[in-house]
Structure 1
Amino acid sequence: MNAWPTLQIVDPTGRVIGGHAGEFTADRLTPVIEQLIEAFGSAGQLVRTRLPETLDQPAIPPGLLRYPGKVELDGERIAIADSGHHRVLAGRLTDDGLSARIDRVLGSGEPAFRDGVNGAFNSPQGITFAADRLYVADSGNHAVRTVDLRSGVIGTLAGTGHQLRNTADLETGAMSSPWDVAVADGMLYIAMAGVHQLWSIELDTGIGMRHSGSQREDIVDGEHFDAALAQPMGVLAHRDKLYFVDAESSAVRVADREQDGRVETITGTGLFDFGDIDGIGDAVRMQHQQGMARHRDGRLLVADSYNDALKWVDPSTRRAETWVREFHEPGGVACGERFAYVADTNAHRIAMVEYGSQEIRELRLEL
């Protein structure tokens, strides 16, 4: 088995009768399982007794937030993807940066695909500000949503609410697990994790297109459509570049914004090359990074999610070094003036790290 995930189908006699390498959805397996139930049920080889269920309780119980996936800043404005509650919180930081007053709670709290004042999300992830609007990577709905921050109205920019699986779906405008978004010069860039690509949308026209990635899951540099990506889960735009984290190759990479440009790798070497090692270039090892932000000094602050750490990466020298640990699979990070703000996903909180002291605190949220 050299792909993640890999599914093996074993019949009641213990024989492996099929398998699938890569991502899949339950409805694709339904016909196979139904055939097995009918065949082996008729033969009297199925035991239909319900198996006992023992569910592990979370080490840290959810509170106001539940598995927050991302956090975004725009000056004093802050937005939080409260992913487990299927909502987005928007507000402003206090002058000292230690608290945030939440002005809008967006989403119904239940997973759904609905526009309007009473609109709904399904496991929202990446967020970006653009004037009085938010763009949201609504990953569970396979869509990019909009929020008018003045009225609170939720809309849909792209996506159908159904996952992209084939050419016919693509022609209807379907997407597959958009995980993060970034805006620059009238373009919206999307980390399309489900198909291992970066996409872009012209905001004036609504025209969308593939920006980078052949759709093959791998870590291969080259011209945009020849390059191979591996589940990009965080993206940011700066000048003429797109920086992104490729979770399945545990890599930090960069793509030109120009359509005739290239994709290059800053750190990361392979789909199965992961670890927790600081260093330069190919010597660096991280594991399943899911987010990053750019500090004003030009370095990238990376959420090294499976190592429970934040790490600095210098894109010019390819040097990576651990900054702070003691998180719980952080999914996103944003750089403010005094603090870095962290979506500490499995701790159900937004954490703050002061640049000078490296002290970790929890952001107070005032609803």
Structure 2
Amino acid sequence: MTTTPRVRAPELPQNYPWLNTDRPLSLQQLKGRVVILDFWTYCCINCVHVLPTLKYLEQKYKDSLTVIGVHSAKFENEKEVENIRQAILRYDIEHPVLVDSGFRVWQSYAVRAWPTLMVIDPQGYVIGYVAGEGNRDALDELIGKLIQQHKDAGTINFQELSLSLEKQRKPLVTPLAFPGKVLASQDCLFIADSGHHRLVISTLDGKVLHIIGTGTPGLTDGSFTEAQFFAPQGMALDAENQILYVADTENHALRQIDLQNQTVATIAGTGEQSHNIHPHSGAGLQTALNSPWDLQRVENHLFIAMAGPHQIWEMQLDTGMIGTYAGTGREFCIDGDLTESAFAQPSGITTDGEELFVADSEISSIRAVGLGENAKVRTVCGSGELFGFGDKDAQGLDVRLQHCLGVEYAGGFLWVADSYNHKIKRVDAKTGICLSVLGDGVAGLQDGVGEETRFSEPAGLSVLGSYLYIADTNNHAIRRVELDTLRVKTLEFPGVCAPDVCVPV
């Protein structure tokens, strides 16, 4: 925690968009309360990691602390107010959010990094800040002292702030909520119903077979109806043994689903987030993980796109050992040896059997990671730069993507969920030539053929035979594409409903 000389906090703009409140808030109105300004952007995994800390502090000091999210967008897509509203719903954010158009507030507070938490005392002065994550105890201690000091001085305002939340104004009652990933097998679809904290298994035409999880966030093993997840994402299937592996992202855990016995077990992670970004390894259940986002099984090895520490991990399924496979932990793009390589929030993973292919979201690039002896890392396409994003079909380093979250290998090509461009692109895995094939670049829900279709932040892909299945995240939908004709259809799941709306049949 960095303390600063008491400086009068710059006032917040009243004419910018505000979310999770029915009116703009001013520091003058909040005088007598401790205020935390959370400078964030919704693509950033570190910003997402700060949200549980803020929720803890908000609940502990709800009568004297106000948290305001200041959304200062990195990507062009994140500047759209509706997309920020969707992120608020996705991450269950319950404090006001100011849309910081043009980085005005960011600049007035001299912020340099996402996330940054700025602490303002009850008299309206900035007294300290902290950048990054993992600072709950320091913030808790500082806020407690501030409240006691101002209580003694009679300058504290003990009154809970009443807010009009987005989830109250427009409740999300869709059957699926922000599905992050989808996996197609010979007999069924596995859907990570991330926003509902559960998994849905259906036939390929949408008939529901199983719903796994209670629908409320938690880390509980047991039967399909007892188990709990927290925003699950990627999956990998061992069809022979009828085992489904799940990246239980916000539980920082890997789960194993026994499809035959209909049980769920945790196989890696402690349930607590690891803050160790240095390469390391250990026994699965004794090793803390950090936001595992996607999975790829290669024989008895489970490879993990570990978004939190910007690394690729490997779990040996026969021994239960887990550890870093590639990546130093530095958020960057470095090709070469596995031990010297660097990634930037890897969020999708697939394989052709010789290499792993990774959707490296924060640098908007597709990376390849070798398997076997003398393995190397290379960049297939994309600039490899943190701010080198856009929407451009080309080859190799000239390609421009925007925060790609999903990748799937099939027949020599990589299908890429170019999430923030609302497109599906096809990349030649060897040459790096990239071509847009689905979506016109505008967020929407529109079936049809090729580039006349529309998606909204698609994030998960799975190919089965002549079909491509897409987790169309912000549309709360699963889309199916005929690869021969590029015709897109939105699937329906009549046996699925939101957990708090009805009982599934």
TM-score normalized by the length of structure 1: 0.90
Partner of 2:212: 106
Give the aligned residue type for 1:84: G
Give the aligned residue type for 1:306: Y
State the Cα distance separating 1:170 from its structure 2 match. 7.4
Q: Match for 1:312 among 412, 426, 433?
A: 426
Deviations 1:134-160 (A, max 9, x none): 000001111110011111100111111
Higher-Rg member (1/2): 2
Higher normalized strand content (fraction of residues): 1
Q: Which residues of 2 match residues 173-188 of structure 1 at below 5 A? A: 173-188=287-302
Tell me the secondary structure at the aligned position of residue 248 of structure 1: helix
Q: Is 1:213–2:350 an aligned residue pair?
A: no
Give the aligned residue type for 1:334: S
Unaligned runs of 5+ in 1: 94-98
Partner of 1:341: 469
State the Cα distance separating 1:100 from its structure 2 match. 2.5
Give the aligned residue type for 2:202: G
Partner of 1:96: none
Partner of 2:488: 360
CA distance in 1, matches of 2:170, 2:389: 25
Partner of 2:266: 156
Taking a change above 3 Å as real, the CA distance of residues 31 and 71 of structure 1, as seen in their structure-2 partners, is same
Taking a change above 3 Å as real, the CA distance of residues 44 and 220 of structure 1, as seen in their structure-2 partners, is farther
Partner of 1:89: 200
Tell me the secondary structure at the aligned position of residue 128 of structure 1: strand
Q: Is 1:223–2:337 an aligned residue pair?
A: yes
CA distance in 2, matches of 1:29, 1:106: 37
CA distance in 2, matches of 1:354, 1:59: 34
Tell me the secondary structure at the aligned position of residue 365 of structure 1: coil
Taking a change above 3 Å as real, the CA distance of residues 314 and 36 of structure 1, as seen in their structure-2 partners, is farther
TM-score normalized by the length of structure 2: 0.66
Question: Which is worse superposed, 27-36 or 200-209?
Answer: 27-36
Q: Which residues of 2 match residues 126-165 of structure 1 at below 5 A? A: 126-131=234-239, 132-165=242-275
Partner of 2:388: 273
Q: Match for 1:123 among 228, 231, 235?
A: 231
Contact map agreement 1:211 1:259 (CA 8 A) in 2: no
Contact map agreement 1:249 1:274 (CA 8 A) in 2: yes
Give the aligned residue type for 2:287: G
State the Cα distance separating 1:360 from its structure 2 match. 2.4
CA distance in 2, matches of 1:308, 1:264: 25
Partner of 2:40: none
CA distance in 2, matches of 1:354, 1:60: 33
Deviations 1:222-281 (A, max 9, x none): 211211111111111221211011111111101012264221111232112212222112
State the Cα distance separating 1:60 from its structure 2 match. 9.8
State the Cα distance separating 1:133 from its structure 2 match. 0.7
Instruction: Count the aligned residue pairs.
Output: 360
CA distance in 2, matches of 1:308, 1:262: 31
Higher normalized helix content (fraction of residues): 2
Partner of 2:402: 287
Partner of 2:126: 15
CA distance in 1, matches of 2:473, 2:149: 43
Tell me the secondary structure at the aligned position of residue 192 of structure 2: strand
Contact map agreement 2:281 2:324 (CA 8 A) in 1: no
CA distance in 1, matches of 2:422, 2:379: 22
Taking a change above 3 Å as real, the CA distance of residues 50 and 259 of structure 1, as seen in their structure-2 partners, is farther
Tell me the secondary structure at the aligned position of residue 35 of structure 1: helix
Tell me the secondary structure at the aligned position of residue 195 of structure 1: coil
Tell me the secondary structure at the aligned position of residue 385 of structure 2: coil
CA distance in 2, matches of 1:165, 1:340: 36
